[in-house]
Amino acid sequence: MTQIILVTGGTGLVGSSIRRVIKNDVRINNNMVFIFLSRQDGDLTKEQDVINIFEKYKPTHIIHLAACVGGLYKNMNNNLKMYTENMKINQNILHYGHKYGVIKIVSCLSTCIFPNKVTYPINESMLHNGLPHMSNEGYSFAKRMLDVESKLYNREYGTKFVSIIPTNVYGPFDNYSLIDGHVIPSLIHKCFLAKRDKEKFIVYGSGRPLRQFIYSEDLAKLILWVLMEYNELDSIILSPKEEISIRDVANMISEIFEYDDIIFDTSKSDGQIKKTVSNEKLMSLNPSFKFTSLKKGLLETIKWFKENYENVRK
């Protein structure tokens, strides 16, 4: 039986990385067809567009990556939009996934949706144990409801809808917007412009917050592992163990660019200071997996960014 694997958000950061990874993944066979959706294929907030997509492709599996996303400041300024758009997208995908008999849906959440006040390290069982940080509550609650709704479908209909929880993702094909981008792509773009224009490399905040980062191709490999080999229905965190401060990330980026005129604007918000997660469950089930070091990932990402600067999302 041919497996039709529909990847929503297929032209974004993670979808593009999956496209690259499947070329060399020995688990991929001739009976697996991947369909990478873009916005040109339809608006996933609109029910009729989603119906048309399911009618056209008749997927057997879905990797659900599509979302209304952004960095700290986009979340802070658009909490209502982040909630309503993501709720529409997620409900449409799960509803029609069930209606059209999809065998498995792997939906992407984020570690940023965990409770603000929690003990560390955070594990999968803590997802709903308190309020998220107010800076991104719209996005967080929509993603949490994706997890809740997936479990309700599983309980009521025996479906296999599972949630993955990656930490901060970075890599080629990202959104490098100075305003709406996540921390690493926006810092890369800022440093590039600062060096080009001989200006200061300004980093918002004190640089104190700690984060865990996963290279997009690592995440792509793990998503394929979840799709094909992870048989549980409970959510799973996908993250390396190590965490690093934003200050150290910014300094690493400036070092790669060979431009050290850097200042930290402490008048800007830091957001959540710490949200350390545990990857104990992942490593117990997939102990041989090796993560790309942050330095190597940044070198690859910055190289790609420079080579594709005119056409990157920014």
Name beta bridge partners: 132: 115
Token readout for 126 is 């803590």
Whose tokens are 């190289």? That residue is 303
* CB of 194 closer than 8 Å to CB of 202: yes
- Annotated catalytic residue, options 73, 83, 96, 139: 139
CATH number for the region 183-208+245-274+299-311 comes to: 3.90.25.10
151 φ, ψ (degrees, to nearest 5) = -65, -35
Helix (H, G, I), strand (E, B) or coil at 279: coil
> Which of 191, 265, 199, 205 has its CA nearest to residue 71?
205
Q: For position 116, what pLDDT does the model report? A: 86
Beta strand pairing call for 3-8 and 61-64: parallel
| Segments of the chain with pLDDT less than 50 | none
The continuous run of DSSP H or E covering 165 comes out as strand 161-166
Beta strand pairing call for 262-265 and 201-204: parallel
Distance CA 135, CA 204 (A): 15
CA atoms within 13 A on the CB side of 117: 3
- Chain segment 212-252, per-residue pLDDT in tens: 999 999 999 999 999 999 999 999 999 999 999 999 999 99
The 10 Å Cβ neighbour count of residue 146 is 26
- List, in order, residues 6 or more apart from 19 with CB less than 8 Å away: 10, 34, 36
Task: State the DSSP string of 16-34.
Answer: HHHHHHTTT-TT--TTEEE
Helix, strand, coil in percent for the chain, rounding step 5: 45, 15, 35
Tell me the angle at which helices 294-307 and 246-257 cross, rounded to the nearest 10 degrees.
50
3-171+212-242+277-292 shares its CATH topology with 183-208+245-274+299-311? no
C-alpha distances in angstroms, 158 versus 99, 109, 153, 293? 13, 21, 7, 39
Query: Domain 3-171+212-242+277-292 class?
Result: alpha beta
Q: What is the pTM of this model?
A: 0.93
- Chain segment 32-73, per-residue pLDDT in tens: 999 999 999 999 999 999 999 999 999 999 999 999 876 655
> Which of 198, 201, 195, 196 has its CA nearest to residue 263?
201
Radius of gyration of the chain (CA): 19
**139 given a catalytic annotation:** yes
Name beta bridge partners: 237: 165
Distance CA 170, CA 184 (A): 6
> Which of 272, 313, 268, 17 has its CA nearest to residue 174?
313
Q: What angle do CA 13, 16, 21 make, to 5 degrees?
A: 120
Q: For position 29, what pLDDT does the model report? A: 83
Q: How many residues does the chain have?
A: 314
The 10 Å Cβ neighbour count of residue 128 is 11
Q: For position 135, what pLDDT does the model report? A: 76
Whose tokens are 């997936």? That residue is 150
Domain boundaries, the chain: 3-171+212-242+277-292, 183-208+245-274+299-311
